Amino acid sequence: MLSIKNLKASIEDGTQILKGINLEVKPGEVHAIMGPNGSGKSTLSKVIAGHPAYTVNDGVVELDGKNLLDMEICERANSGLFISTQYPTEIPGVNNVEFLKMALNSKRNFLGLPEMGDADFKKLCEEKMQLLEMDDRYRDRGVNEGYSGGEKKRNEILQMAILDPKVSFLDETDSGLDIDALRIVANGINHIMSPEKAVILVTHYQRLLDYIKPTYVHVLRHGKIILSGGPELALKLEEQGYDWIEEK
C-alpha cells in the first residue's frame, strides 16, 4: 500500500534530516513511530506530503504503486494520503465547513466523481461531527481559528473522517488532549480505520497506543528507523527510554 524506500531529505541550508527511511505499510495495519525529539518524525510526514520547505535527495514513496514524489501536494492528498501535523495551521476567514466541502469535492473531482451537494455534505458532516462529539461551534469559525489544542486535533480527525484517505499519517495527535478528548479522538480513528486502510501514528507516549493497538512499532532516530517491533516495543520504550538502543 504505502512503500517508502531509502527516503532522504534535507532543509534549505542543506542539512539532511531524513537519512534513508524504509517503511512498508500494508492495508489494515497501524504503525506507530516513536523516537526522541528532533529525530525526523514530523519531517517524514511533511516530506511525504510534499511540504516545499524540504528537498528530497533520494528515495521513492509509492502509494498503491504510484510515486507520490512525482505528484503535486493536492494530488498526493487526492490519491489517498492524509497527514495531520503536530500544530494544525490556523486560517482565519476561511470557514471550516466550506473548507471541508471544498476539500471533499476536490477529491471527488480528482477521482472523476460528481461533486457532493449541500444537503448530502451537511448530513455527512453532522454524522462525523457526532462521532467526534463536536458541537456547532466548529461550523461557523475559520479553520482552526481560536481553537484550543484539543479542538484542533479533533478537527484534524474530522477532516480525516470526511476525506476518507487510504493512508493517514498522524503526527502527535495525542498531544494537547485531555483524557476524555484522547478517548474521543482515538475512538474516532478506530472507527475510521478499516481493513482497506492504514494509519501511521507518531507519538511519544504509550497512552495513545492503549486505545489504538499498533501492528508495528518503529523507533526513528537521527533520520533513520533504527528498530522495529511489535506493540511490546512501545511498552519497553515507555519504561526504559531510547538510550539502550544501539544504532547500526
Partner 1 sequence: MSYNNTALAQAAQARINALGIPKRNNELWSFFPVNKIPSVVSAESAANGTADSAAAEGCTVECADFGIAAETDIAALLPIAKSAPIMKKDFAAGETEMGLIKSRADFGHSVFKIQKNAKVSLEILDNKVEHEIAAERFDINVEEGAELEIFFANPANELPLQFRHFAIKQAAKSTVHFSNILQDAGIGRISIDVDLNGEGANFDYRSLSVLKGTASKHQRLTIRHNAPNTVSTQFARNLLDEKSYVSYDGSVIVGNGCSQVNSSQLVNSILLGDESSVSVKPVLKIYHDDVECTHGNTCGELDADQMFYLTSRGIPAETAKKMLMKSFAKELFLPLNDGPAKKRLLQVLASL
3-state secondary structure of 179: helix
Strand order in the sheet with 167-171: 81-84, 167-171, 198-202, 30-34, 216-221, 224-229
How long, in residues, is the chain?
Answer: 248
Amino acid in position 175:
S
Using CB under 8 A, which of 24, 38, 70, 91 touches partner 1?
Answer: 91
Cα–Cα distance list, 147 to 96, 137, 235 (Å): 11, 10, 32
Using CB under 8 A, which of 60, 69, 71, 94 touches partner 1?
Answer: 94
The reply on whether position 2 binds partner 1 by CB under 8 A is no
Per DSSP, 115 falls in state: P
The reply on whether position 68 binds partner 1 by CB under 8 A is no
Q: Which stretch binds partner 1 (CB under 8 A): 32-40, 73-81, 126-134, 193-201?
A: 73-81
The reply on whether position 113 binds partner 1 by CB under 8 A is no
Q: Please count the residues of this chain forming the interface with partner 1, following the rule CB under 8 A.
A: 29
x/- map, 7-46, partner 1, by CB under 8 A: ----------------------------------------
Among candidate residues 61, 145, 26, the one with its CA nearest the CA of residue 97: 145
Residue 2 dihedral angles phi and psi, to the nearest 5°: -110, 125
Using CB under 8 A, which of 7, 9, 33, 143 touches partner 1?
Answer: 143
C-alpha cell at 57: 535527495
Binding stretches for partner 1 (CB under 8 A)? 49-53, 72-74, 76-78, 83, 85, 88-89, 91-94, 99, 102-103, 106-107, 110, 142-143, 159, 163
